[in-house]
Amino acid sequence: MSSIDTPLKVSIVAPCYNEEEVIEEFVRRALAAGRSAAEGSFELVLIDDGSRDATWSKIEAMSRQHPEIVGVRLMRNHGHELASTAGIASSRGARILLIDADLQDPPELLSDMMEMMDRGADVVYGQRGVRKGESWMKLTTAAVFYRLLRWLASVDIPSDTGDFRLMTRRVAELLLSMPERDRFLRGMISWIGGRQVPIVYERDERHAGTTKYSYSKLLRLALDAITGFSARPLRIASWAGVITAFIALGLLVYTFYSFEAGWAVTGWSSTMVAITVFSAVQLITLGILGEYVGRLVQQSKGRPLYMVDRVVRDGQDIQLLDCPEMRGARDPRSVTRDPFLP
């Protein structure tokens, strides 16, 4: 039996985008964590999400030095969630650790997470007790987002969590079977259910480089989370329409009463206020509807979630049509089981 056919205990999956300053230190720590937690039966899957720096060349070089490293290069930048999906589809382990390559989440927690999973957990997710190096603005917006999401979402999504988590192969396959394009992985994994337990840790500052999540990207992720796991915004829009309709009816009654009473017609300011209020409500409602409709249009096109350019395993390129990395790229709904596990 060849090494590629041998089931592995764990796959460490890390999406990377312009991480040339930190990738070597991350690999050093991740390899050490894998060797300690899985007794050498592991792989480190690095997904280059269309980086414009030397990230991919460093991944190639390190894959020739360390047979545990699998490099997957996407044809363009697809974003963190889809790059993570590509990494999970590329993994062969019975368990998958999803982690960012910026070293804010410590790979050394893998041993503790494996022990918790040995006791029956389906998912062990990292919950941030302390977030070092974060501005008050980011901490405040994150707190507001998680509280708002828990109120809006139809599933219980834990607060103060990211994508840093260990999951079983069964959970990973269920995740890959979900075909939606606008993915919010932590919400999708929560939706799957099973026994999901937290591990509280201190989140460090970035080891090097700068964050790839601008406020505009965070806002986009928030929209994906809310529209993907809640229809409540549509209900709020409907109730806003009902409330403004009653207000308009009241103003109509007031207008007739004023006319019959012979009162002087008020100036343009009151008219402009009414028009502004009703127009704002209508535009907000149309915007909410547009977010949902836009996602339905993109989903209906049926395009692949991501496109793989190159795959490097054991320091050598792999034919794309014969490698498991193309499973999700062809059709995520076709993924039913891991061919590398018995």
Domain ranges of the chain: 8-213+304-334, 232-300
CA 319 to chain centre: 28
Q: What pLDDT is stored for residue 322 in this prediction?
A: 45
Q: Any bridge partners for residue 317, and if so which? A: 312
Matching residue, tokens 């836009």: 294
Distances (CA, A) of 265 to 249, 253, 254, 260, 334: 18, 14, 11, 12, 68
Measured CA to CA, the distance from residue 187 to residue 226 in angstroms comes to 10
Q: For the residues of 237-288, what is the DSSP string, one character each? A: HHHHHHHHHHHHHHHHHHHHHHHHHTPPPP-HHHHHHHHHHHHHHHHHHHHH
Give me 118's structure tokens: 């040995």
Q: Any bridge partners for residue 15, and if so which? A: 47
Measured CA to CA, the distance from residue 330 to residue 334 in angstroms comes to 8
- State which CATH number among 1.20.120.520, 3.90.550.10, 3.40.630.30, 3.50.30.30 fits the domain covering 8-213+304-334: 3.90.550.10
8 A C-beta contact, residue 95 and residue 169? yes
Best CA proximity match to 138, nearest among 235, 70, 205? 205
Phi first, then psi: give them for residue 132, nearest 5 degrees.
Answer: -80, 145
Look up the pTM and report it: 0.71
Give me 189's structure tokens: 């994994």
Q: What pLDDT is stored for residue 124 in this prediction?
A: 96
Q: What pLDDT is stored for residue 29 in this prediction?
A: 95
pLDDT in tens, the chain (342 residues): 334 455 799 999 999 999 999 999 999 999 999 999 998 899 999 999 999 999 999 999 999 999 999 999 999 998 888 999 999 999 999 999 999 998 889 999 999 999 999 999 999 999 987 666 566 666 676 667 667 766 666 677 787 788 899 999 999 999 999 888 878 888 889 889 899 999 999 877 655 555 555 556 666 666 666 666 666 676 666 667 667 767 766 766 666 666 666 665 555 556 656 676 677 677 777 777 777 777 777 667 677 888 888 888 877 777 554 454 455 444 433 333 333 333
Measured CA to CA, the distance from residue 210 to residue 207 in angstroms comes to 9
